[in-house]
Structure 1
Amino acid sequence: MPALTLKTLLIEARTALAHGEAPRLEAELLLAHALGRDRGWLYAHGGDTLEDPTALACFRTLVQRRAQGEPVSYLLGCREFWSLNLQVRPGVLIPRPDTETLVEAALSRLPQDLPGRVADLGTGTGAIALALAVERPRCRIIAVDRSPQALAVAIENVERLGLGQQVTCRCGDWFEPLAGERFDLIVSNPPYIAEADPHLEQGDLRFEPRSALASGPDGLADIRRIVGQAPDHLDPGGGLLLEHGMGQGKAVRELLVQGGFCGVETVQDLGGKDRVTLGIMPL
């Protein structure tokens, strides 16, 4: 069998992935991963032949698994978030661009030249905590997750990025490992999809941990818990920032007002959809 050029292999992969959202990009990412190269290298070497049978078999296996629906981030073992290359594995929620709206909102409440204490609840890969640590070097952040599997990935990312002096990881259910502690800011991207939502059986969501996605009949069960317990862990003037679904802004604002928060407002993402709602503890 004659050796195939990289260009030919990419065309073959794009055809196999044609029903996905970005077949060309995904084909390039998978081939670059199989070869241990970056996408830029592929552009310069499209006419090269792939004569390594191991790399070819690896690439075709990756394409087949992606065609069956496995998330690209799980296949590659990594995902970029806030310009950070984070390790990702099955069993851990994949960071998404929408969550950068939460990071931006948090940064607007954290002065760049002052120390601060932040809690990141449901940290997953550690994406939010690590983005805040990079942008606010004087902050100290505690990243909490109830999943030992997720927390192991977060710890790996903290150590790999050299941010262990700023970010501490703890295992527990929401505020459980934070007894007696108070913070300037609490941030969270909790589960917020309704348990019966059909989207849970579509796309990448099929492969991600249900416990990190769904939360009660209306998707707000965990947000209610966080709002109810947060006042015991916030200093006066401290803020609680919650990511939520695009149709949940009004409900989350009402929960924060009922919970005694003031200055309640919702921030929209780049698509103009409600994405993050925040409240402030009265002075």
Structure 2
Amino acid sequence: MLELNIEEVTTDLHTISDFLRWSVSRFNEADLYYGHGTNNAWDEAVSLALFALHLPDNMDDAIMQTRLTKTEKIDVINLVLRRIDERIPAAYLTNLAYFARLPFYVDERVLVPRSPIAELIEQGFNQQITAEPQRILDLCTGSGCIAIACAYAFPQAEIDALDLSVDALDVASLNIHNHDLTEQVIPIKSDVFSGVSGVKYDLIVTNPPYVDAMDIGDMPDEFHHEPEMGLACGEDGLDIVRTILAQASDHLTDNGVLICEVGNSMLHVDALYPQVDFSWIEFERGGLGVFAISKQQLEQHKQLFLERVKN
């Protein structure tokens, strides 16, 4: 736990800028992990300070030189201490995360949105599909961020948001309501495809659990605030991905495409399916482990995919 002289901090520091500098120094001192919406100490400090002070993130920089009341100082300090002492990701402290430039409510019932798939959505999947999709499936929806971002990108599409976790669906439903998309995005409880039997989609997008056993053990403390159900998935991280690959063709239209994120487990995917020509996507803003595969490819290798589920 960080040892801190609260009286010294509240007396010697005055402005928002002072507290941002102090927060960054404390974060660096504590050697925090970043990767839940921000990737550096400064952005983390800004997000917490603005939340504590009830300020928007688009204000003029001149406000950084304004002085804080003692109560406001304490509010900032307390958030900083929680971030350090409990290793809670900032998004859970503020209940706010951004995905595809859109705001989402998050808490410890769902993963903090951070998938590189956001970049594909903003581009309208223009390298992966040839026609605007009419029906989209967000499989393992979590907070609902992928489904909701797809609704903005394709306002005419019908979108189903599936998850096995009732807790996650509660959060997704809240976000769907907050974005006024209850007529377009439908949350459904489902174990993989079980809740949409017989339904076909032009596009399936999924960010399923894919962390292998070794990586789960090595994860920084911040990850242990997230639901393990949304992260861990067997020895090689592919227990659910195996099922998705075996069943996805049954739920795609003739020109349909599956987009799937597997992160570091992409090495296991290539080892498990050496005959399959997965299209691994490169991202301008960073990220890896996302592949695209067509219905035709899924049909071509279906026997292999089924065998891997059995074994």
TM-score interval for Structure 1 and Structure 2 normalised by the shorter chain: 0.7 to 0.9
* Aligned residue in 2 for 1:279: 293
* Aligned residue in 2 for 1:7: 17
Alpha-carbon deviation of 1:140? 0.7
Contact 1:101–1:275 (8 Å) recurs in 2: no
Structure with more strand by fraction: 1
* Aligned residue in 2 for 1:94: 112
Offset from partner CA, 1:138-169 (integer Å, 9 cap, x none): 11110001111111111111111112222111
Aligned CA distance change for structure 1 residues 91 and 273 (closer, same or farther; 3 Å): closer
Alpha-carbon deviation of 1:241? 1.4
Aligned-partner Cα distance in 1 for 2:53–2:102 = 22
Residue 65 of structure 2: SS of its match in structure 1?
coil
Moved more, 24-33 or 14-23: 14-23
Alpha-carbon deviation of 1:219? 0.8
Aligned-partner Cα distance in 2 for 1:271–1:41 = 25
Moved more, 246-255 or 139-148: 246-255
Aligned-partner Cα distance in 1 for 2:168–2:254 = 31
Aligned CA distance change for structure 1 residues 274 and 15 (closer, same or farther; 3 Å): closer
- Equivalent residue in structure 1 for 2:193, among 168, 175, 179: 175
- Equivalent residue in structure 1 for 2:103, among 85, 90, 97: 85
Moved more, 160-169 or 273-282: 273-282
- Equivalent residue in structure 1 for 2:240, among 222, 227, 239: 222
Residue 74 of structure 2: SS of its match in structure 1?
helix
Moved more, 96-105 or 166-175: 96-105
* Aligned residue in 1 for 2:77: 60
Aligned-partner Cα distance in 1 for 2:26–2:160 = 43
Q: Does 1:156 align with 2:174?
A: yes
Aligned CA distance change for structure 1 residues 46 and 274 (closer, same or farther; 3 Å): closer
Q: TM-score, normalised by structure 1?
A: 0.87
Letter in 1 for 2:17: K
* Aligned residue in 1 for 2:161: 143
Residue 137 of structure 2: SS of its match in structure 1?
strand
Where structure 1 has 5 or more consecutive residues not aligned to the other structure, the ranges are none
Offset from partner CA, 1:165-201 (integer Å, 9 cap, x none): 2211111211111112111121100111102325653
Moved more, 68-77 or 229-238: 229-238
Where structure 2 has 5 or more consecutive residues not aligned to the other structure, the ranges are 1-6, 35-39, 300-311
Q: Does 1:23 align with 2:41?
A: yes
Aligned-partner Cα distance in 1 for 2:178–2:63 = 31
Percent identity over the alignment? Answer: 30
Aligned-partner Cα distance in 2 for 1:148–1:244 = 23
Contact 1:82–1:100 (8 Å) recurs in 2: yes
For residues 235-254 of structure 1, what are the structure 2 equivalents within 5 Å? 235-246=253-264, 248=266, 251=269
Moved more, 163-172 or 137-146: 163-172
Alpha-carbon deviation of 1:25? 1.8
Offset from partner CA, 1:60-79 (integer Å, 9 cap, x none): 12101111321011111111
Aligned-partner Cα distance in 1 for 2:149–2:274 = 25
Q: TM-score, normalised by structure 2?
A: 0.79
Contact 1:227–1:256 (8 Å) recurs in 2: no
Q: Does 1:123 align with 2:141?
A: yes
For residues 248-267 of structure 1, what are the structure 2 equivalents within 5 Å? 248=266, 251=269, 255=273, 264-267=278-281
Contact 2:97–2:106 (8 Å) recurs in 1: yes
Moved more, 55-64 or 130-139: 55-64
Contact 1:77–1:88 (8 Å) recurs in 2: yes
